[in-house]
Structure 1
Amino acid sequence: MNQHFSAETQYTPPADAAAPQEDVVRLVDLKRRFGATAALDGVSLTVRKGEILGIIGRSGAGKSTLIRCLNGLERPDSGQVIVEGRDIARLGERELQPLRRRIGMIFQHFNLLSAKTVEDNVALPLKIEGRSKAERLARAAELLDLVGLSEKAKAYPASLSGGQKQRVGIARALAARPALLLSDEATSALDPETTRSILALLRDINRRLDLTILLITHEMEVIRSIADRVAVIDAGRIVEQGPVWSVFADPRSAITKSLLGGIRPQLPEEIAARLSQSAGPEAVLRVDIAGEIARQPLLSDLATTVPGSFRLIHGGIDHVQQQPVASLFLGIPADAGHVKQVLDFLKGRGARAEVVGYVSDND
């Protein structure tokens, strides 16, 4: 099997472009307007070699414009889109074409050619490059084996399930050995079980090939499953970013808290309905902890250190990126001095704690 393409037709990145610890992508103050609307309003972020970065936001947040700027289909009004050391926003179409082949793309609706077989769909980018038929078929066979679809090489897309079609799309995106794989809502059209299998495949490919992946999604569960870092975009701006476990444990922006609402523990509806901001006999605290502190006996230490009672109303602990992340709701007597003591103790131990309201009884 021919593993190497000829130097005459393959784009060669700068010698240090993909060195360890170096950024594969760097966006610098990226701006793009459509009339009065700022689709991107000063976006700056990096994607490091070998990592999976998730970009999450609601519809209209700027995700689609961002990904189009990344693959050269949209020109920013200002700012830089640096891929493997070159600012693609400044390249002409002829210069851009070979660099585009360094960027693979998988789509929500697969975008397979119905009149071509699975192996021909996978080999299509190589046909466009002018590779020989033998080379194309060898590479297609290699990739179909990678995604677990070797037996479907001669099948047509109409005979495949949604998950199989997406696997073909992933194989096609890898055909030209890209440095960066862009995933644009790639699992949104799939059922939960198929979504899990596709995400597991992407993580496996990331690890086996040391492939850099940028995920565009509106689903926090996708971010939680496979991303190393997350950037939250809202109204064309990056409002929060960091390691996934850290952002999940301590979301700072309102949009991040909203997006995490279906994943992080919330007060049961019957208690939330009775919650008041007026002082009552019991204060309800939300306590968020993660990392090393979540491995410690925090509640038993609280009971022995701070006089007075408390009760655990609700909560849970999860593991994100092998780090424990917990959200707990505690009920404590609403005496101001006692509340301050409890908050001071919790914050002193590294927890994020706040009073979310008061309830009139313990039912």
Structure 2
Amino acid sequence: MTGRNVTSQPSATAFAAVDPAPGALETPVVALSGVSRSFGPTRALDDLSLTVRRGEILGIIGRSGAGKSTLIRCLNGLERPDSGRIEIEGRNIVGLSESELQPIRRKIGMIFQHFNLMSAKTVVDNVALPLKIAGWSKAERRARALELLDLVGLSDKAGAYPSALSGGQKQRVGIARALSARPALLLSDEATSALDPETTRAILTLLKDINRKLGVTVVLITHEMEVVRTIGDRVAVLEAGRIVEEGEVWHVFSDPKTELTQSLLSGVRPQLPAHVASRLATDGQEVVLGVDLTDPALGDGLFVDILDHLPATVHFLHGGIDHIHDQPVARFFLTVPREPAALVEDVTTYLRSINARVEVLGHVSRPV
């Protein structure tokens, strides 16, 4: 991991976000309703509605051009929608003047892909910069910045300049800076896409830890499915400015409904082996089934139990059991002889009786 580990255990009060007003705990931190934004003939956001609950981590995924960047810029007030409402902690920010937006923006922290640190300022001064703009005294902002550097594991780098830091350390500074004004909402715009896998894991662990300790609501804009899988509570899939699928991460990742979601998740879900997929046809002696199953009772003996209930001519081809947020999910592939004619239907009926989702992927000729 780049940079030292977070070993200190600061008190909850040291870093606590500003206490919400009475009744605010029931108010979503973010509520979008009918938001649209066009650039010439291009509709970046199309009647989009979305709610982000207090304290959750929401991942927003989609292909390039889906509207992710426009969405995040609308959330922090840098873009103004053509229509709709954007409420931050219950206040509609659409139509507010720049001066009216300033106190709202102080409730929103931003973490950027390329860190956006000021090279001529030390680490502690980079973290303290939003507080200087907000009018905090020098002593207050330095104390706050040092607290946050301790939180992200960089107390020993306070006097260093960004050029002396690794990529992971720079992102930790960026996270500390985003937290400086005790925001209610943290926006992460592809924050780990410039980092190596080991450093990415460390940063994600840090973000989850911050979410747990501070109760900060986090919105992750990313094209990296593993990021959402690792720390997201819910996920929303964006396509052409609309949300086409939404739900708890474990549920969407184990049973994606749309073709887009299935495609986006292909890198993090078991897939049909390439040598089999390349041979799929509309006719053949063997039927290939894709099976998805979510059950708290799933265990290592799952496949043995299933095959014990099926004829010996049905073969397990590929797949396994995974755990997403402590929820066991299975995805696997079977081959079933096409004859006798009722066999495929019998196998499918059995699998569905144990709450599996079954899909006929195609046919292959023997052997597989």
Q: TM-score range by the shorter chain?
A: over 0.9
5+ residue gaps, structure 1, are 5-10
**CA-atom RMSD, angstroms?**
2.0
Deviation at 1:247, TM superposition (A): 0.4
Give 1:42's aligned amino acid.
Answer: D
CA distance in 1, matches of 2:215, 2:23: 16
- Secondary structure, counterpart of 1:23 in structure 2: coil
CA distance in 1, matches of 2:243, 2:251: 16
Deviation at 1:276, TM superposition (A): 0.9
Deviation at 1:140, TM superposition (A): 0.5
Residue of 87, 102, 114 corresponding to 2:119: 114
- Secondary structure, counterpart of 2:282 in structure 1: coil
Residue 260 of structure 1 corresponds to: 265
- Secondary structure, counterpart of 2:291 in structure 1: strand
> Could you tell which deviates more after superposition, 289-298 or 327-336?
289-298
CA distance in 2, matches of 1:196, 1:248: 19
- Secondary structure, counterpart of 1:265 in structure 2: coil
For the 8 Å contact 1:113–1:121, the answer to whether it is kept is yes
Deviation at 1:90, TM superposition (A): 3.0
Residue of 311, 329, 337 corresponding to 1:333: 337
TM-score w.r.t. length of structure 2: 0.92
TM-score w.r.t. length of structure 1: 0.93
The answer to whether 1:16 aligns with 2:20 is: no
Give 1:89's aligned amino acid.
Answer: V
Residue of 98, 101, 105 corresponding to 2:103: 98
Deviation at 1:302, TM superposition (A): 4.2
Deviation at 1:275, TM superposition (A): 1.3
The answer to whether 1:288 aligns with 2:292 is: yes
Residue 37 of structure 2 corresponds to: 32
User: Once the two structures are superposed, what CA deviation does each residue of 1:252-282 show, in whole Å capped at 9, x if it has no partner?
Assistant: 111111111111111111111111122x211
- Secondary structure, counterpart of 1:247 in structure 2: helix
Residue 171 of structure 1 corresponds to: 176
For the 8 Å contact 1:123–1:137, the answer to whether it is kept is yes
User: Once the two structures are superposed, what CA deviation does each residue of 1:158-207 show, in whole Å capped at 9, x if it has no partner?
Assistant: 11000000000000000000000000000011111111100000000000
CA distance in 2, matches of 1:164, 1:296: 39
User: Once the two structures are superposed, what CA deviation does each residue of 1:100-154 show, in whole Å capped at 9, x if it has no partner?
Assistant: 1000000000000000000000000000011110001000100000000000000
For the 8 Å contact 1:232–1:241, the answer to whether it is kept is yes
CA distance in 2, matches of 1:295, 1:87: 48
Aligned residues: 354
The answer to whether 1:128 aligns with 2:124 is: no
Residue 199 of structure 1 corresponds to: 204
The ranges of structure 1 where at least 4 consecutive aligned residues each deviate by more than 6 angstroms after the TM superposition are none
Residue 323 of structure 1 corresponds to: 327
Percent identical among aligned pairs is: 64
CA distance in 2, matches of 1:189, 1:158: 16
Residue 5 of structure 2 corresponds to: none
5+ residue gaps, structure 2, are 1-10
CA distance in 1, matches of 2:154, 2:300: 46
Residue 311 of structure 1 corresponds to: 315
Residue 4 of structure 2 corresponds to: none
For the 8 Å contact 1:30–1:42, the answer to whether it is kept is yes
- Secondary structure, counterpart of 1:90 in structure 2: coil
- Secondary structure, counterpart of 2:102 in structure 1: helix
CA distance in 2, matches of 1:306, 1:111: 58
- Secondary structure, counterpart of 2:267 in structure 1: coil
Deviation at 1:15, TM superposition (A): 3.3
- Secondary structure, counterpart of 1:189 in structure 2: coil
For 1:342-353, list aligned pairs within 5 A. Answer: 342-353=347-358
CA distance in 1, matches of 2:319, 2:113: 34
For 1:139-218, list aligned pairs within 5 A. Answer: 139-218=144-223
Give 1:310's aligned amino acid.
Answer: V
Closer/same/farther in 2, CA of residues 182 and 302 from structure 1, 3 Å limit: same
CA distance in 2, matches of 1:37, 1:294: 46
Give 2:298's aligned amino acid.
Answer: A
CA distance in 2, matches of 1:125, 1:201: 21
